[in-house]
Amino acid sequence: MASQTGDTLFEKIWRTHEILRRPDGMSLLWIDRHYLHEGSFNAFDLVARRAARVRHPELCVAVADHYVPTRHRDPARTEPSILEMMTRLASNTKAHAIRLSDWQHPAQGILHVVGPERGLTLPGLTVVCGDSHTSTHGALGAIGFGIGASEVAHVLMTQTLWQKPPRLLRVTINGALGPWIAAKDMALAVIARLGADGGRGHAIEYAGVAVRALSMEARLTLCNLSIECGARCGMVAPDETTFSYLRGRPCVPTDFEQACDLWRMLPSGPAATFDLEVSLDAADIAPTVTWGTSPEDALPITATIPDPARMEDAGRAAHARDAIAYMGLRAGQSLTEVTIDRVFIGSCTNSRIEDLRLAAAVLAGRRAVVPGLVSPGSAQIRHHAEQEGLDQIFLQAGLEWGQPGCSMCVGMNGDIVSPGERCASTTNRNFRGRQGPGARTHLMSPAMAAAAAVTGHLTDARPMLAGRA
Amino acid sequence: MEKFKTLTAIACPLPLSGVDTDQIIPARFLNRTRAEGYGDYLFHDLRAQPDFPLSQAAFAGARILVARRNFGGGSSREAAVYALLDYGLRCVIAPSFGDIFAANAVGNGLLPAVAAADDVEAILHSLRNNADPVSVDLAACKISMPGRAWGFTIDPVWREKLLQGWDDVDLTLSKQAEIDEFVAKDRVERGWAWL
């Protein structure tokens, strides 16, 4: 057995979940939490085709999030195709006795928000879901990764998965973040540094004093975006911040303090080694926005649109030319000159209470000059925000106060950005057509999206936050 | 699962990098069932562009796709693999693939063949000048066109799985005794982790 001081957080969790290892290096892993959503119907169909049963329904949790309407909750106003998705999830989960928070349930929300919020995701667990942003759950010190429908079906039928251990990448961020710099800025800076596939084949552990200083919600944002550099998962070692966040949540273990003692043994030992190490200085991270059609196309707000003619790499230049054309920009243009048509504040990346508070801090007493939708991450967050009066700030600024769901991040519920429209968005992907056919997406933090709403163009939020929040 | 051994077919060049799964199949088509098929929606929005390679007569009936770096990154949607398969494709050659996409591909008998970036450029270049069929030999990890050949890589476990047409569920069910033993022990040792 390897020494405890030389093991990483990832290796310690992996080892406790390994049922067997084949000579070819494949491990059969035990899965502790399996999250399901409306999109999981293909997997249920695969289970049905084998006339199989769900092996451990008690370890599965389903929540409606991808297709749920986020501008209302009225079945009478809902498209039949959306209602059909709600029905499919309800009947599949009922048939297999899987607990479901459907679109009318008081615990409904985005899975990657609800799992941690309810204390379902815990340190030391393996967490999977048919959704790439399952990397979010690593913020609690778990191994969380996205899988496809065939693997979802495999987990439903066996509560296990065949996996080969990924390589390990430690991203160390030391120093202190500047005022009003958010986890979103940190994550976009990491992705810009690594590239959209720089983390491919790797599990990331985020370390360093700047990461330790992050709140739990900020860590969830950071780990959420791990998949945007291609990584399998992203993790932060559990510590007192993690335990304080979890303490008292409804689904945590009854012997919580005893569990904390076990979780305190999870962090990577001092002699732990990684296949790859990358370091950033937090002080160098500026408010960051994307300009192109890949999350790696991220720059400080003070920068200008890059010039493909000056790029040495032919592939990069071709990508930049295509991206600039699609986005309707010009090389050399200042990012702050880029005008926007709407804002979206929400998604599994940035819809938690701290995100909404920061956006509200910018918007308080100000008016948005473009339309926008604010979609809280869960019904609980929605309630919390209303108790704090944040909903009134958004409404008085002229934005819509919506319901929880994936909403305009992926547009599956019909809330889309129109062709050619430009959206300042707190989401995770600026891919072509991600928010709707022809939509142009700029990714940024909630404060930056709120600032863009007020000015109508990409804006450094920092002066607007001075003396606030 | 259908085995993959060798394939000789028309190869379609797709000289783009970062073709994410949202491009392979846009989200608005994901509510379809597998029985309805996804092939008509493959690259739906990219196909609207003039001269999109897959729409050209020369590449009709293509069963191999050749693309640049980071093919299939982003969303975990397995429908991206279904769309490629339902369209008739059995192999994608690229310098790199999104991890989840590649796993989904192998699970469905679609070969994600990783070729060196320079070799991919050479293949793309050859395909610009003629539409000679391309051969892919999985056992030998070899791609060839008349008079030329290149190697490719794939995880050896995945290669074996494709060659044999293995089904993971059957394999796992054969290990049920070991799983039961693990569960009995785990419930005692990590009782806190269970719901």
CB contact under 8 Å between B175 and A28, yes or no, is yes
3-state secondary structure of A22: coil
A428: in domain: yes
| CB half-sphere exposure, A391, CA atoms < 13 A | 12
Q: Give the separation between CA A11 and CA A24, rounded to whole angstroms.
A: 18
A127, closest residue in chain B (CA to CA): B193
Same domain, A88 and A222: yes
Is residue B124 within 8 angstroms of chain A, CB to CB? no
Residues 228-267 of chain A with CB under 8 A from chain B are 230, 232, 251, 253, 255, 258-259, 262
Same domain, A231 and A331: no
A59: in domain: yes
CB contact under 8 Å between A433 and B23, yes or no, is yes
Whether residue B195 contacts residue A58, with contact meaning beta carbons closer than 8 Å, is answered with yes
Give the C-alpha distances (Å, rounded to integers) separating B88 from B25, B27, B83: 15, 21, 9
**Which of A129, A227, A430 to mutate to test binding with chain B, by most B CBs within 10 Å of its CB?**
A227
Q: Respond yes or no on whether ipTM tops 0.95.
A: yes
Same domain, A345 and A202: no
Whether residue A451 contacts residue A460, with contact meaning beta carbons closer than 8 Å, is answered with yes
Same domain, A83 and A225: yes
Host domain of residue A445: 290-465
Tokens at B15, concatenated: 């000289």
Tell me the domain boundaries of chain B: 6-164, 167-195
- Boundary of a domain, candidates A278, A311, A336: A278
List, for chain B, all residue ranges whose pLDDT scores fall below the cut of 50: none
A285: in domain: no
Query: In 3D, which of A159, A167, A122, A166 has the Cα closest to residue A142?
Result: A122
* H-helix or E-strand spanning residue A465: helix A462-465
Same domain, A314 and A211: no
Same domain, A254 and A295: no
Helices in chain B by DSSP H: which ranges? Answer: 21-24, 79-87, 99-107, 117-129, 156-164, 168-173, 176-189
Q: Give the separation between CA A440 and CA B18, rounded to whole angstroms.
A: 17
Q: How many domains does chain A have?
A: 2
Whether residue A110 contacts residue A68, with contact meaning beta carbons closer than 8 Å, is answered with no
3-state secondary structure of A27: strand
CATH class of the domain at B6-164:
alpha beta
CB-nearest to A315 from B28, B68, B191 is: B68
Q: Quick one: pLDDT at residue A4? A: 63
Is residue B166 within 8 angstroms of chain A, CB to CB? no
Q: Quick one: pLDDT at residue A2? A: 45
Same domain, A240 and A298: no
Whether residue A198 contacts residue A295, with contact meaning beta carbons closer than 8 Å, is answered with no
Same domain, A259 and A348: no
CATH number at residue A411: 3.30.499.10
Is residue B26 within 8 angstroms of chain A, CB to CB? yes
CB-nearest to B76 from A125, A147, A166 is: A147
- Boundary of a domain, candidates A252, A278, A304: A278
Is residue B126 within 8 angstroms of chain A, CB to CB? no
Tokens at A140, concatenated: 């609690």
| Mean pLDDT per 10-residue interval, chain A, length 469 residues | 76 98 96 98 97 98 98 96 97 98 96 98 98 98 98 98 97 98 98 97 98 98 98 98 98 98 97 98 98 98 98 92 97 98 98 98 98 98 98 98 98 96 98 97 98 98 92
Same domain, A294 and A245: no
A297: in domain: yes
Same domain, A103 and A250: yes
**Which of A162, A191, A197 to mutate to test binding with chain B, by most B CBs within 10 Å of its CB?**
A197
Is residue B177 within 8 angstroms of chain A, CB to CB? no
Residues 290-309 of chain A with CB under 8 A from chain B are 293-294
Q: Quick one: pLDDT at residue B1? A: 82
CB contact under 8 Å between B45 and A437, yes or no, is yes
Query: In 3D, which of A34, A9, A29 has the Cα closest to residue A18?
Result: A29
Q: Quick one: pLDDT at residue B129? A: 78
pLDDT digits (tens, 9 = 90+) for B109-158: 999 999 999 999 999 999 987 778 999 999 999 999 999 999 999 999 99
Q: Quick one: pLDDT at residue B49? A: 87
* pTM above threshold 0.90: yes
What percentage of chain B has pLDDT greater than the value 70? 100
* Residues of chain A found within 8 Å of residue B108, distances taken between Cβ atoms: 150
Same domain, A213 and A332: no
Same domain, A261 and A369: no
